[in-house]
Amino acid sequence: MLKKLTIYRVFLGIGLLIIYSILFGQLLRKYYLGKNEFQLLQNIAIFIVEIPSNTKQVLNYFKNRSSPPKLKKHKDKESFKQFIPYKRNALLVLPRYDHGISRSVVDIVDLNNFKVIHTYKHDIAKMHAQVKNTKKFNRINIDDSPNRFEYRHPLILNDGSLISDSENSIEFKIDFCSNLEWINEEEIFHHSKMLDHEGNLWIPGHMKPYSKYIKQYPIQNFNEDSIIKINTNGEILYIKSLMEILIENKIFDINNVDSDILQKNKDPVHLNDIEPALSDTQFWKKGDLFLSAKHLSAIIHYRPSNNKVINYIKGPFSQQHDVDIISDKEISIFNNNNFIVDNEFSEVIVYNFETKEFRKIFNNQLKNENFKTKSQGLSHIFNDGALMVEEQNHGRIILFNNQGQKEWEYVNKDTNGNIGFVSWSRVIEDQLFIEKFKLLIKNNKCVN
């Protein structure tokens, strides 16, 4: 009798669990379909479902308040080593994390002698205190606390001022003496910052609220990338969702995508660079944009003036980062090379619009240097054909001359030998700009 009662209770429990699961699932289904029926019960169900993610957020809160990790790959290398003596009248804008002072700085390095001639280092906490849009930037004092903040791809203007952001943060401008001039907290900014032919900046952003195509889906924490044009006063002149661009140009078919797919893949595009065309050529027009979409492994040639995708470029690259116009018919692509096989080294690939062919440059050199960054990273081709590559994940920069010989190598070590990340350096070869900047240094009256 007792055994039968036990079996009965087991089956009763299983039956009740099935009924509970069905009802629980229906509550969640109606919630995600936007039907606010039985709202109290729905809220309880959502609370239960989000316990794991909320617990993870609490754990990440404490994790994210710590400094970035110290990098290990190049611990046995010197901080700077020159292999071929060569003077280059150029400046290196070097954003880097210094573990010795537990914060990021931007060094301006004279490539004639690799001496730091100026450093930007503003008051991050004071800047964050000005942020009023706490709904959009509710984690800015956690993710971008002074000991975690990074200057991402900083742009130096003619007057010596600097425009930058940290990853997924406000945009800001500081003057030559690192005094804050303005912040823009209207949008969430990330990745590259490039000037166009009109002197405005193009910067990737995250759309919040979502665009008309995405907002119909009840998805949380979806990364909808946008392209944003701002002037040097921080005013937004243009903004457009990249998902909108892809949908309106029939590259991304939203009609064949349900909310479950978007819920699982919350970052389907991952825009990481915008390269504006500064002049007309046979293959593009002044004002066109080349967009690097990492998770699509594609370069998108887009014309904002008529909302048209001119070229959608796929090729022998995977999860690429950084696209540059290098001639009137070529672009270079920094290939993170994250294919499933044959992915040991990062590459620099050149695409020719005339021949529609790809070629790899300095490939043997990158292999010999065991050069690999799985994410981020960039390349810069000098006017004389030399190549600089940034191994962002490992805090290293290498310059090869136009003969493929290693000219110098830099590893971002502090005074204690700890290696920090570098976060998107850039090279300035404009001689007039360099003269003006060095004059600013000579007449430096900064008190900080």
CATH classification at residue 309 = 2.130.10.10
328 falls within a domain? yes
Q: Which domain holds residue 43?
A: 2-49
Q: What pLDDT shows up at residue 58?
A: 44
Q: How far from each other are the two terminal CA atoms of the chain, in whole angstroms?
A: 86
d(CA 205, CA 244): 14
Q: What pLDDT shows up at residue 215?
A: 84
Q: Where are the beta strands (DSSP E) in 77-123?
A: 80-82, 91-98, 103-110, 115-120
When pLDDT is cut at 50, 70 and 90, the band that residue 7 belongs to is low
Cis peptide before 209 (omega within 30 of 0): yes
Whether 14 and 154 map to the same domain: the answer is no
328-337: per-residue pLDDT in tens?
Answer: 999 999 999 9
Residue 272 has pLDDT above 70, yes or no: yes
Whether 137 and 213 map to the same domain: the answer is yes
Whether 109 and 9 map to the same domain: the answer is no
Whether 233 and 370 map to the same domain: the answer is yes
Q: Kindly state the average pLDDT of the residues 147-161.
A: 97
- Kindly report the length of the chain: 448
Residue 13 has pLDDT above 70, yes or no: no
When pLDDT is cut at 50, 70 and 90, the band that residue 63 belongs to is very low
Whether 428 and 309 map to the same domain: the answer is yes
Whether 223 and 148 map to the same domain: the answer is yes
Q: Kindly state the average pLDDT of the residues 274-293.
A: 98
Whether 40 and 130 map to the same domain: the answer is no
Q: In a 10 Å sphere around its CB, with 0-12 CB exposed, 13-18 middle and 19+ buried, how is residue 87 labelled?
A: exposed
Whether 415 and 328 map to the same domain: the answer is yes
Mean confidence (pLDDT) of the chain? 89
396-414: per-residue pLDDT in tens?
Answer: 999 999 999 999 999 999 9
Whether 43 and 86 map to the same domain: the answer is no
448 falls within a domain? no
Residue 433 has pLDDT above 80, yes or no: yes
Whether 79 and 181 map to the same domain: the answer is yes
- The contacts of residue 119 (CB under 8 Å, 6+ apart) are 105, 106, 107, 108
Give the chain's domain count.
Answer: 2
Phi, psi values for residue 24, rounded to 5°? -60, -45
367-386: per-residue pLDDT in tens?
Answer: 999 999 999 999 999 999 99
Whether 272 and 170 map to the same domain: the answer is yes
CB distance 36 to 45 below 8 Å: no
Residue 35 has pLDDT above 70, yes or no: no
C-alpha separations of 185 from 206, 234, 422 in Å: 12, 10, 25
Whether 91 and 196 map to the same domain: the answer is yes
When pLDDT is cut at 50, 70 and 90, the band that residue 62 belongs to is very low
61 falls within a domain? no
Q: In Å, how far from its chain's centre is CA 194?
A: 13
Residue 26 has pLDDT above 70, yes or no: no
CB distance 422 to 395 below 8 Å: yes
292-335: per-residue pLDDT in tens?
Answer: 999 999 999 999 999 999 999 999 999 999 999 999 999 999 99
Q: In Å, how far from its chain's centre is CA 363?
A: 24
